[in-house]
């Protein structure tokens, strides 16, 4: 296993290894997006559209990658973002991701739809822990989960605000994906092609999602064009309901799913401690703006009052660098570290973090910026107009996003 991971020198290599070891329906669940997957592709393409103009003749013999992130220390300017159902891709994968995060000194966000419990993560992987709460229709269950996260010492509550209804994930519809996963005559061949995964699931039973235990099982419904996502979630959840949750939670509140600058002010007033620019990795609304293009306006609206993180499309250390240069305090890794654990368990998750660390450090050296504080928009060359589509061009300067952005 170690030798095979040694050949995975990029996140894409980890992705390809994960694809080779998983049945197609399982890999597509993790890898896919909504409808035509244009937003999924746009997240990554946005980074490719931003160029770097390095400084030279600066002392970069040492670079410092650690700093503060959402009020605490972090070995890298990133947190491992919440990803659901990881144990279906690698048994025990949620704990392995959390352990890799703790070893790297970065925060880890546990998903409501994880295959590990709140208490198991706290016991097995002590570190900076965040709990991500989906807004369940069953409010008693939601409040119970939040109380358990508080009792287990989680420092932050992450509210995913961009999932009032599930997206139309056509890969899941094509496979008839269900949770718990089932091998049927229609998908038997795809699972039979991956006997190691299938035998493990058959002999040891599929993992459970303990935070969702007892809720309605869900399956893709091709006739109704409904995939598995979001079927137990509350589309009536609004700002007033979020304020009530803020009153229940004593720790930090992180709101994830912002792409529009007009949504920032109400969240800051409500008492959010951090915001995450996210479009759910392109898994819900297709045709939504790429998060990198949405980032500067959200940063400008936040005006330094709360840190703004970016989620979506991060596959390289240089992507982290570009997000920081456009004003992000850090990034969430979703698929990047997920591909790592799907490719090689805990060692794979650690490998993904090592790849991002190495690439970020190398980019900082090659751009003449030896510290995170030295990274700003002056080293970027942006497409004209910026962004290359939509009504989101920055209208005001923000910290670390100077007026020269409009001139580049």
- Neighbour-count burial of 385, counting CB atoms closer than 10 A to its CB (0-12 exposed, 13-18 middle, 19+ buried): exposed
Torsion of CA 191, 192, 197, 203, to 10 degrees: 110
Residues 6+ apart with CB under 8 A from 294: 258, 259, 260, 277, 279, 392
Cα separations (Å) of 364 from 34, 55, 140, 301, 401? Answer: 34, 10, 47, 27, 18
Of 55, 143, 260, 280, the active-site residue reads: 280
Provide the strand spans (E) within 259-302: 274-277
d(CA 378, CA 324): 12
Residue 65 in tokens:
């990658």
Q: What are phi and psi of 109, to 5 degrees?
A: -105, 120
Residue 300's H or E segment, with its range, is helix 291-302
Q: What are phi and psi of 12, to 5 degrees?
A: -65, -35
Q: Could you confirm whether 55 is annotated as catalytic?
A: no
As annotated, the active-site residues are: 280
């Amino acid at each position: 296993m170690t030798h095979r991971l040694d050949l995975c020198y990029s996140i894409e290599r980890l992705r390809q290894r994960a694809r080779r070891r998983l049945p197609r329906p399982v890999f597509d669940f993790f890898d896919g997006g909504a409808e035509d997957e244009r937003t999924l592709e746009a997240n990554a393409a946005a980074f490719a559209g931003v160029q770097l103009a390095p400084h030279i003749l600066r002392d970069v013999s040492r670079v410092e990658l650690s700093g503060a992130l959402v009020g605490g220390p972090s070995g890298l300017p990133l947190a491992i973002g919440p990803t659901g159902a990881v144990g279906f891709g690698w048994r025990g994968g949620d704990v392995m991701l959390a352990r890799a995060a703790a070893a790297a000194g970065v925060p880890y966000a546990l998903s409501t739809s994880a295959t590990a419990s709140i208490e198991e993560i706290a016991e097995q992987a002590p570190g900076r822990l965040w709990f991500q709460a989906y807004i369940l229709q069953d409010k008693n269950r939601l409040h119970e989960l939040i109380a358990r996260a508080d009792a287990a010492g989680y420092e932050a509550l992450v509210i995913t605000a961009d999932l009032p209804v599930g997206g139309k994930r056509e890969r899941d519809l094509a496979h008839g994906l269900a949770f718990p996963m089932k091998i049927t005559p229609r998908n038997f061949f795809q699972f039979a092609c991956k006997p190691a995964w299938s035998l493990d699931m058959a002999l040891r039973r599929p993992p459970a999602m303990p935070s969702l235990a007892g809720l309605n099982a869900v399956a893709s419904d091709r006739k109704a064009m409904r995939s598995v996502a979001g079927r137990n979630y509350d589309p009536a959840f609004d700002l007033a309901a979020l304020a009530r949750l803020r009153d229940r939670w004593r720790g930090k509140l992180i709101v994830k799913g912002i792409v529009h600058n007009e949504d920032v002010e109400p969240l800051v007033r409500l008492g959010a401690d951090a915001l995450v620019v996210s479009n759910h990795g392109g898994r819900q609304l297709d045709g939504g703006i790429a998060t990198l293009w949405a980032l500067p306006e959200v940063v400008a609206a936040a005006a330094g009052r709360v840190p703004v993180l970016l989620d979506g499309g991060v596959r390289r250390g240089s992507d982290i660098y570009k997000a920081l240069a456009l004003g992000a305090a850090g990034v969430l890794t979703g698929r990047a570290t997920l591909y790592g654990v799907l490719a090689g368990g805990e060692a794979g998750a650690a490998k993904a973090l090592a790849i991002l660390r190495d690439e970020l450090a190398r980019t900082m050296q090659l751009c003449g910026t030896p510290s995170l504080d030295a990274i700003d928009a002056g080293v970027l060359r942006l497409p004209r107009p910026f962004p290359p589509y939509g009504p989101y061009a920055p209208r005001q300067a923000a910290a670390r996003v100077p007026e020269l952005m409009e001139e580049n």
